[in-house]
Amino acid sequence: MARYDIALIGFGGVNRALAELIAARGDGLEAELGFALRVVAITDLRAGSLVRTDGDGIALAPLLAVAPDGLDFSGMPGGSPEPRNEWVIREVPADIVAEATFTNPTDGEPALSHVRWAIEAGKHVCTTNKGPVALHGPALKELARQAGVSFEFEGTVMSGTPVLRTARRMFGGLAVNGFEGIMNGTSNYVLGRLESGLSFADAVAEAQTLGYAEADPTADVEGYDVQLKVMILANEVLGAELTRADVPCTGISALTAEDVRRAASEGLRWKLVGSAERHADGTVVARVAPVALPAEHPLAGVSGPTNALAFHTDLLGTVTVGGPGAGRTETAYALLSDVIGIHHRAVSGTGILQEARRG
């Protein structure tokens, strides 16, 4: 039975939910998936760092019993008040680094460095962090290829809904000419709550409590989060090389509760739509903007944190993928699906240097 040792970088909603999955369902996953997972390091800006590479690794249950705000690794064996990210990522023996710190839409840091350090150290990386992937995806993929490790990022678009893998693996033989969709759970949730009579600020606060929003929800309501997702998708699926400047972006912050309710009374639903289209000359034109969709539009009925993405293809016409677009556990599942992808590559021997460890 293979075993993968994991280092969790950032211990907020998503990586904590991954630890919960491993703690609660590890044995079942082992039986089903054919590999075990052992957490050997955790770092967090607020809690510090914790390393334990002997025995069963870090005992997760006692950590998960502590409220997130109260977690402090400094008094624990193997603990430190400092995150010590670079040392942990480079030096602690682990097979996989799961990066889930804040997304920085400007330059991707410090997550970009976290990913680079891991790849340079010969470790596989899975991340839900949109910054490094949207802003430096091709360079990181090339670095990973040269190092013979996997770089996986399914959770960067539509959380645990496997939209990137679906497009990469299931669309063989199809030409994908464009896509449009609802790709931000927070703004979609907020728009729905405005329709129900809530204020904008209260609706955003709810999305934060539910774990949908970014640490700074400006990225959600101003559309930057969707801008990064459009870049990731366009670069992955349409072969584009979009930068942020190529994707004009307007969010939902200028919409009032009254706008949204008046539109609803006229049979229209405001949605934040991200799209990209490949033109005949090969250029890819992308944008993010709120649109008042007629009720019969397929995206108009997509509610709450659910997202949906319609791909425009030559042979099948429009193919739509829908599912959760945000949420702690849903996004932790994306990391688990990345680990499964890493395992499949390891056992099929496709260019991976590190062997699956024998437990």
Ligand X SMILES: NC(=O)C1=CN([C@@H]2O[C@H](COP(=O)(O)OP(=O)(O)OC[C@H]3O[C@@H](n4cnc5c(N)ncnc54)[C@H](O)[C@@H]3O)[C@@H](O)[C@H]2O)C=CC1
Ligand Y SMILES: N[C@@H](CC=O)C(=O)O
Interface residues toward ligand X, by CB under 6 A: 9-14, 43-46, 83, 85, 100-103, 110, 128-130, 155, 159, 211-212, 214-215, 326-328, 331
48 lies in the binding site for ligand Y (CB under 6 A): no
272 lies in the binding site for ligand Y (CB under 6 A): no
Structure tokens at 139: 């360079």
184 lies in the binding site for ligand Y (CB under 6 A): yes
Is 76 or 302 the residue whose CB approaches ligand Y more closely?
302
326 lies in the binding site for ligand Y (CB under 6 A): yes
Closest contact distance (angstroms) between CB of 334 and ligand X is 7
Question: Which residues inside 69-88 make contact with ligand Y, applying CB under 6 A?
Answer: none
Number of residues binding to ligand Y, judged by CB under 6 A: 11
130 appears as a binding residue in the annotation: yes
Here the contacts of 209-218 (C-beta below 8 Å, separation 24 or greater) are 210/305, 210/327, 211/13, 211/326, 211/327, 211/328, 212/185, 212/186, 212/305, 212/326, 212/327, 213/186, 213/326, 214/102, 214/103, 214/186, 215/12, 215/102, 216/102, 217/186
271 appears as a binding residue in the annotation: no
Q: Which residue has the tokens 């509610």?
A: 303
Interatomic CA distance for residues 309 and 331, integer angstroms: 17
Candidates 158, 156, 154; CA nearest to 169 is: 154
Closest contact distance (angstroms) between CB of 305 and ligand Y is 7
Q: Is the dihedral of CA 96, 99, 100, 105 positive or negative?
A: negative
251 binds, among ligand X, ligand Y, none (CB under 5 to 8 A by kind): none
Closest contact distance (angstroms) between CB of 188 and ligand Y is 8
Interatomic CA distance for residues 201 and 333, integer angstroms: 29
Closest residue by beta carbon to ligand Y: 186
Strands 2-9 and 35-44, by their bridges, are parallel
Is 49 or 186 the residue whose CB approaches ligand Y more closely?
186
By the 8 A CB rule, do 115 and 99 touch? yes
105 lies in the binding site for ligand Y (CB under 6 A): no
By the 8 A CB rule, do 36 and 2 touch? yes
328 binds, among ligand Y, ligand X, none (CB under 5 to 8 A by kind): ligand X
List 110, 223, 290, 325, residue binding ligand Y (CB under 6 A)? 325
By the 8 A CB rule, do 274 and 231 touch? no
Closest contact distance (angstroms) between CB of 299 and ligand Y is 15
DSSP letter (8 states) at residue 262 = H
Is 11 or 117 the residue whose CB approaches ligand X more closely?
11
283 appears as a binding residue in the annotation: no
By the 8 A CB rule, do 156 and 128 touch? yes
Which residue numbers are catalytic?
A: 229
Report the binding-site residues.
106, 130, 214
Report the binding-site residues for NADPH.
106, 130
| Positions that interact with ligand Y (CB under 6 A) | 159, 184-186, 212-214, 220, 225, 325-326
